[in-house]
Structure 1
Amino acid sequence: MRFFNAEKGFGFIEPDDGGDDVFVHFSAIADRGGYRSLDEGQRVEYSASQGDRGMQADSVDPL
């Protein structure tokens, strides 16, 4: 994770391949029965698709 703003509920994933950052909304984070948030520098697995403003994560699983 490059950045995640828990108050606003979104952030950006920095891909391992060095490509463009991927937008992530809190609703795409796997629900593990608690508050869905991510930490800067945290590793994640995700799937992404092309959105109106670039790549966006469809599902995010914190590692």
Structure 2
Amino acid sequence: MAIIAKGVSMSTGTVKWFNESKGYGFISPDDGNTDLFVHHSEIKVSGYATLSDGQKVEFEVGEGKKGPCAVGVIPC
């Protein structure tokens, strides 16, 4: 589970790649910061949680076990 930084607003970005069978991928933030890991459990949709390469998303930046990650991901 990721820890969310308090007081942080939603960021936007583009899905760099997402492996549906493994349930994870990376998002490139629009602000140019380092790509962020995203796990399927952080995708906020009803039904099967997946993302498509090149898809625009909104998210918050959290801190995972291995560094920054995207949390509360909402497809645009």
Same fold per superposition (TM over 0.5): yes
Structure with higher strand content:
2
Structure 2 CA distance, aligned partners of 1:49 and 1:59? 9
Larger relative contact order (C-alpha < 8 A, sep ≥ 6)?
A: 2
Residue of structure 2 equivalent to 1:56: 69
Q: Deviations over 1:5-52 (max 9, x none)?
A: 0000000000001110111000000132x2110000000000111223
Residue of structure 1 equivalent to 2:55: 42
TM-score (norm 2): 0.76
TM-fit CA distance, 1:53: 1.5
Query: One-letter code of the match for 1:2?
Result: K
- Could you list the runs of 4 or more consecutive aligned residues of structure 1 that deviate by over 6 angstroms after TM superposition? none
Structure 2 CA distance, aligned partners of 1:42 and 1:10? 14
Figure out how many residues of one structure are paired with residues of the other and give that number.
Answer: 62
TM-score (norm 1): 0.90
